[in-house]
Structure 1
Amino acid sequence: MVYICKRCGRVFKSWNSYIAHIMFGIEGTKKSSKYAKRK
């Protein structure tokens, strides 16, 4: 099974690495933290 990130199109062969990318790669970025403060 292959998992593809809808935002960046990156391909992951394992579910754990895919989840880690979503949790840390997207939510852990400085950009998302700025948007969170605005909300």
Structure 2
Amino acid sequence: GRRGHHERRQPPVLPVRRLPGGRRSCLRRSPDHSRRV
């Protein structure tokens, strides 16, 4: 989808990054994030 492309191009600023355990939850939700890291 178009939204997916935008997310891949520019990293989405989510509050999950601020939380210490948020990163793990974010990786589980979208595998794309795990590839970047």
Q: Flag whether TM exceeds 0.5 (same fold).
A: no
Structure having the higher strand fraction is 1
TM-score under structure 2 length normalisation: 0.31
Higher helix content, 1 or 2: 2
Instruction: Kindly name which structure, 1 or 2, has the bigger radius of gyration based on alpha carbons.
Output: 1
